[in-house]
Amino acid sequence: MRKGLLFIFMLMLSAFLVACGSSESSDESASDNNGGEEASDSKWSEIQESGEIVVGTSGTLFPASYYPEDSDQMTGYDVEIMREVADRLNLELKFEEYGVDGLLSAIKSGRIDAVINDMEVTKDRQEQFTFSEPYKYSYSTMIVRESDLSGIEKLEDLEGKTHGGGATTVFSRIAEHFGAETKTYGNVTNDVYLRDVENGNTDFIINDYYLQSLALKALPELEVKLHPDLKFHPTNSAIVMPKEADKMKEEIDAVLKEMREDGTLTKISEEFFGGKDASERPETDIRELEGLDL
């Protein structure tokens, strides 16, 4: 029986880098567009004919996609949203589990039809994939020492500080943009990150607001806290589909809209985010980051 990997902190939100293509003639572009429409219709027809949609997820990202301890039944905010979407589309749902780095390549290779794994919509990814309407809105914040906020009052104070995180994440890019050095970790549990902030081995951890809130709730004995003033880099997460999958997007968006209007998204969010509604845009001022293309 599988053990749950609870409170995995490292959201692998690094941009999916793509090579720039050359411009094409109008005739070639028209041909490409027609091909895209055919591919889109073909993909959705294929899904309808089989009666099944195959969706990639990690199964290790709490609370989006994970196995509860002592359970072999995957659940999470993203997982339950996808189950509801498939049900309303009258489709069987099959999850395929991949490491985060392999999820998008699995779409490209045709091994899966879509991805749901708290996947942030970025400019780079939009060049290669189609995204549904967002089902989650959030922003970045940071965990600091409770006693002195790690000497950080504003983002510009990060210069010379040490950030705990993954080497290629968006969060590390933000920290390094403001002059911090990142101390990298392997696939360790959340308490390792937090204890390093508490004991001064690192100064702060940038990550998603909702995930950090849950981490602190799980480890209340540690003398660390969310920074009370720093809210930045607004984000949204969506279902990822093949490029030009217009019909598939249309069908999924219609269901997500219905789920938003009838309160289903809110209900699922409150279950997994401690009563908070991540399906709505946060009602707070969030700083956009200039000079950093994420």
Token couple for 145: 């020492």
Question: Is the domain of 75 the same as that of 171?
Answer: no
Three-state secondary structure along 167-202? Answer: CCCHHHHHHHHCCCEEECCCCCCHHHHHHHHHHCCC
d(CA 85, CA 255): 6
Q: Which residues contact 179 (CB under 8 A, 6 or more apart)?
A: 158, 159, 160, 161
Q: State the residue range of the domain holding 186.
A: 137-233
Tell me how far apart the alpha carbons of residues 282 and 204 are, in angstroms, rounded to a whole number.
23
16 in a structural domain: no
pLDDT at 135 exceeding the cut of 90: yes
- The verdict on residue 10 lying in a domain is no
Residues 106, 252 within the same domain: yes
Mean pLDDT of the 219-223 span: 94
254-257 long-range contacts (CB < 8 A, ≥24 apart) are: 255/84, 255/85, 255/88, 255/89, 256/85, 256/132, 256/133, 256/135, 257/133
Residue 13 lies in a domain: no
132 dihedral zone (left: phi>0; alpha: psi -120 to 50; beta) = beta
Same domain (yes/no): 115, 247: yes
Same domain, residue pair 79 and 101: yes
Based on the fold, state whether residues 124 and 191 are members of the same structural domain: no
Task: Give the CATH number, domain containing residue 68.
Answer: 3.40.190.10
User: Residue 187 phi/psi, 5° resolution?
Assistant: -85, 70
3-state secondary structure (DSSP) of residue 95: strand
Has residue 281 been placed in a domain? Answer: no
Please indicate, yes or no, whether residues 84 and 166 belong to a single structural domain of this protein.
no
* Residue 21 placed within a domain: no
What is the model's pLDDT at position 40? Answer: 54
> What pLDDT is recorded for position 165?
86
Name the DSSP class of 284.
S
Q: Running DSSP on this structure, what letter comes out for residue 35?
A: H
Q: In this structure, are 245 and 131 located in the same domain?
A: yes
Assign 20 a pLDDT band (cuts: 50, 70, 90).
Answer: very low
- Element holding 182 (H helix, E strand): strand 181-183
Count of structural domains, the chain: 2
- Enclosing H/E stretch for 183: strand 181-183
Residue 8 has a pLDDT of 40
Per-residue pLDDT tens over the stretch 138-180: 999 999 999 999 999 999 999 999 999 877 778 898 999 999 9
Chain mean pLDDT for the chain: 85
Pair 94, 194 in one domain: no
Q: Tell whether the model's pLDDT for residue 9 goes beyond 80.
A: no
Pairwise CA distance, residues 257 & 265, whole Å: 9
- Please tell me whether residues 89 and 222 are part of one structural domain: no
Asked if the structure places residue 68 within a domain, the reply is yes
- Could you say which DSSP state residue 120 is in? B
Q: How many helices (H) and strands (E) does the chain have?
A: 9, 13
Q: How far is Cα 195 from Cα 191, in angstroms, rounded to an integer? A: 6
Confidence band of 211 (pLDDT split at 50, 70, 90): confident
Structure tokens at 226: 């969310």
Alpha-carbon distance of 62 to 215, in angstroms, equals 10
pLDDT at 22: 27
Gap between the Cα atoms of 167 and 185, Å rounded: 8
Supply the pLDDT for residue 170. 83
What residue has token string 């890019």? Answer: 173
CA dist., res. 255 & res. 250, Å (int): 9
Q: In this structure, are 87 and 223 located in the same domain?
A: no
* Residue 179 tokens, joined: 């002059």
Q: What is the mean pLDDT of residues 79-94?
A: 98
Q: Is the pLDDT of residue 43 over 60?
A: yes
Q: Are residues 141 and 195 in the same domain?
A: yes
Predicted local confidence at residue 115, as pLDDT: 97
Examine the domain organization and report whether 179 and 257 are in the same domain.
no
pLDDT, average across residues 89-109: 92
Q: Among 127, 128, 104, 101, which residue's Cα sits nearest to residue 115?
A: 104
Q: What is the structure's pLDDT at 187?
A: 57
